[in-house]
Amino acid sequence: MNTHIDTGAGRVVAHPESGPVTGLRGTDRLLRFAGIRYGTAERFARPVPAARHTLPVDATRPGPICPQLPSRLEPVYGPHRNEPPQSEDCLYLAITTADLTGSRPVMVWVHGGGYLTGGGTLPMYDGGRLAADGDVVVVSINYRLGALGFLAHEGVSEGNLGLYDQILALEWVHDNITAFGGDPASITVFGQSAGASSAMALLSVPRARKLIRRVIAQSAPSLARLPTRDEAFAAGPYFAEAAGGDLMTLPVRRILDAQARTEQWNADTPARPGTVSFRPALMEPLPDTETRERTFRSEPVPDLVIGYTSDEGGAFVVGAASPVPREAVATMSRKTFVEPAHEAGRQVLDAGGAAFLYEFGWAPAEGGFGAVHGIEVPFLLGTREAWADSPVLGSTDWATVEANGRGLRRSWGHFARYGTPGTAEVEWPQWNGDEMSVQQINW
């Protein structure tokens, strides 16, 4: 049902299949539904769809984000401003749209944060500027993080629960987005860092893949290597011992403390794969590597934009106890971000699809840390207030961020609509495996 009601005072009611929700019309004339429940979940259980309702539900306030510890990259981006409350009951999404009628491409944002921090309903991911400049409907999702989302432990949690949350959110969008002026047949999943890796992982899940038309992966780390089932379950006993109690009833604080201790154990154990204990692994709903590759070759390949910043690794050494050699940072950036992006592009080419690669090289003229991991995000998403005084932007004024980012937002929206990020203003070649076809983004 597509009808809507303007209740006055900026309040608008949309009528998706899941039940009516109340949002707000902002001073920019965009409609925002800041907190719509898409599912519920018991601790360490798979999510289930939210119950349908008949009376309007208030979606004017951001939904809670998953409980989490401070981000290790807070010195780079700054603290979250106006952060929503934290709660295990966090399966909410936010929608920004120009109108409740029409059929615009839909862009579903999966936030990063190493599967440990962040939230789609944070103001830093507000979709207003992208919705306006890209002429798209922007959806940002929350999902469970850390041990609550990715613990694998016999008799407690099967693992990959955060990925199940993402799949359920994607299904909600497909079934309900028409009521917000979106086209359910034109869904682009985009994300940064862990969110970009999630977007790529979703292509390996038949439930999700059939709903995805296009993907944008911004700085996806080490796409080719996910833990096996045995590797994922190896951290479970250590986590349970660190928690020291009934995992189903422990206070969230104890869960987070045990999570932090497990992360340190993981970092101190050379044989442990990857950099975090809690992340997607090669078990349900993900197939094993061989099956994933065979599926990728045999099915229609979604269009792909994938890229990285010029100095990815620089973000991870800010505030380091001792100086890290530039050569080591450059090697980390190449191995963790650049080479995996090129490999993903090659897989798309080999499968007969279209890939577009980019390198984001802009850096602030004064201050900041260079073109580090995540520096492109404020050019796409978020409010001025959310990014105010963010260290990563240095002394750059918001007017510059706004003006420079407009072309990037239009490219993202153009890709969502047409399958190419090239626009009338920006030429963008399709990647052909050659370095010269990597689009350079700088101003």
Catalytic residue positions, numbered:
193, 312, 373
Single-letter amino acid, residue 113: G
The pLDDT-based confidence of 259 (bands split at 50, 70, 90) is very high
Residue 9 pLDDT exceeds 70: no
Q: Span 265-269, mean pLDDT?
A: 82
What is d(CA 169, CA 186) in angstroms, rounded to the nearest whole number? 15
Note the pLDDT tens digit of each residue in 130-148: 999 999 999 999 999 999 9
Provide the strand spans (E) within 111-234.
137-141, 152-153, 157-158, 182-192, 214-218
Residue 3 pLDDT exceeds 80: no
Residue 299 pLDDT exceeds 90: no
**Could you give the dihedral angle defined by the CA atoms of residues 159, 116, 205 and 344, in that order, rounded to the nearest 10 degrees?**
-130
- CA 138 to chain centroid, in Å, comes to 12
Q: Span 332-356, mean pLDDT?
A: 92
Residue 404: predicted pLDDT: 95
Indicate the helix (H) or strand (E) that contains 106. Answer: strand 104-110
354, 303 contact by CB (below 8 A): yes
What is d(CA 185, CA 104) in angstroms, rounded to the nearest whole number? 10
Q: Span 216-225, mean pLDDT?
A: 81
Please name the residues in contact with 349: beta carbons below 8 A apart, sequence gap of 6 or more: 355, 431, 432, 433
Cα within 13 Å of Cα(205), Cβ side: 25
287 or 229, higher pLDDT:
229
Residue 350 pLDDT exceeds 50: yes
Q: How many separate helices (H) and strands (E) can be counted in the chain?
A: 14, 17
Examine residue 230 and state whether it is found in any structural domain, yes or no.
Answer: no
Q: Give the number of other CB atoms < 10 A from CB of residue 321.
A: 5
Cα within 13 Å of Cα(63), Cβ side: 31
What is d(CA 150, CA 249) in angstroms, rounded to the nearest whole number? 17
Residue 1 pLDDT exceeds 60: no
The pLDDT-based confidence of 300 (bands split at 50, 70, 90) is confident
Give the total number of structural domains in the chain.
1
Rg (CA), the chain: 21
Residue showing tokens 């719509």: 36
Examine residue 90 and state whether it is found in any structural domain, yes or no.
Answer: yes
What is d(CA 165, CA 320) in angstroms, rounded to the nearest whole number? 34
Please name the residues in contact with 319: beta carbons below 8 A apart, sequence gap of 6 or more: 75
Residue 277: predicted pLDDT: 82
Which domain does 13 fall in, by range?
Answer: 4-221+280-441
272 or 90, higher pLDDT:
90
Note the pLDDT tens digit of each residue in 370-401: 999 999 999 999 999 999 999 999 999 999 99
Residue showing tokens 């390198």: 359
Residue 351: predicted pLDDT: 87
Q: What's the DSSP call for residue 224?
A: T
Q: Span 93-103, mean pLDDT?
A: 97
How much helix, strand and coil, in percent to the nearest 5, is found in the chain?
35, 20, 45
What is d(CA 119, CA 113) in angstroms, rounded to the nearest whole number? 9
- The angle subtended at Cα 242 by Cα 236 and Cα 245, nearest 5°, is 90
When the pLDDT of each residue in the chain is averaged and rounded to a whole number, the result is 92
What is d(CA 120, CA 216) in angstroms, rounded to the nearest whole number? 16
CATH number reported for the structural domain that contains residue 324 in this entry = 3.40.50.1820
The pLDDT-based confidence of 2 (bands split at 50, 70, 90) is very low
Residue 323 pLDDT exceeds 90: no
- The angle subtended at Cα 400 by Cα 394 and Cα 403, nearest 5°, is 145
Note the pLDDT tens digit of each residue in 311-322: 999 999 998 888
Indicate the helix (H) or strand (E) that contains 441. Answer: strand 439-441
| Cα distance between the two ends of the chain | 44
Q: What's the DSSP call for residue 312?
A: G
Examine residue 265 and state whether it is found in any structural domain, yes or no.
Answer: no
Examine residue 260 and state whether it is found in any structural domain, yes or no.
Answer: no
Residue 187 pLDDT exceeds 70: yes
The pLDDT-based confidence of 267 (bands split at 50, 70, 90) is confident
Examine residue 45 and state whether it is found in any structural domain, yes or no.
Answer: yes
Q: Give the number of other CB atoms < 10 A from CB of residue 230.
A: 11
